[in-house]
Amino acid sequence: MLEVRHVEAMRLAARGLYECRVCGRRGQLADAVATFCRGQIVNAVCLLPCARENEIVIGPHENGVEVRLRARKTLVVASSMPSVPLPLRASLQEVG
């Protein structure tokens, strides 16, 4: 499966296109942060919104290149808890 994705990524890159490794969106390679190794595309992440909302960390790895994304801001799942029972709501507020 990984080799099939790599072959597809190389075909897209040859046409100036990419597929974002985070959201799966396809677009112009000029609109991405891309990593190449020996002329082959290793990774591509779209600038908007994925690269804007995540910190991209690229570094050497024993098997090649390691690419990690770290969220820049906290994900808020819910701003209030009206349907949560009162004892549970109190314990959640103590933790958070």
For 23-33, how does the pLDDT look when each residue is reduced to its tens digit (9 = 90+)?
Answer: 889 999 999 88
Residue 96 and residue 92: Cα distance in Å, rounded? 6
Structural domain that includes position 17: 2-71
* pLDDT for res 8: 84
Residue 50 and residue 55: Cα distance in Å, rounded? 9
Residue 53 lies in a domain: yes
Residue 36 lies in a domain: yes
**Number of domain units in the chain:** 1
Show the DSSP H helices in 1-96 as ranges: 2-14, 52-53, 86-95
Is-above-0.95 flag for pTM? Answer: no
Residue 48 lies in a domain: yes
* pLDDT for res 89: 46
* Two tokens, residue 9: 């990524």
Q: Which long-range CB contacts under 8 A does 11-14 form with residues at least 24 apart?
A: 13/41, 13/44
Residue 65 and residue 49: Cα distance in Å, rounded? 23
Residue 85 lies in a domain: no
Residue 88 lies in a domain: no
Residue 54 lies in a domain: yes
* pLDDT for res 63: 80
pLDDT in tens, 37-92: 788 888 888 888 888 888 888 778 888 777 788 888 776 666 665 565 555 445 44
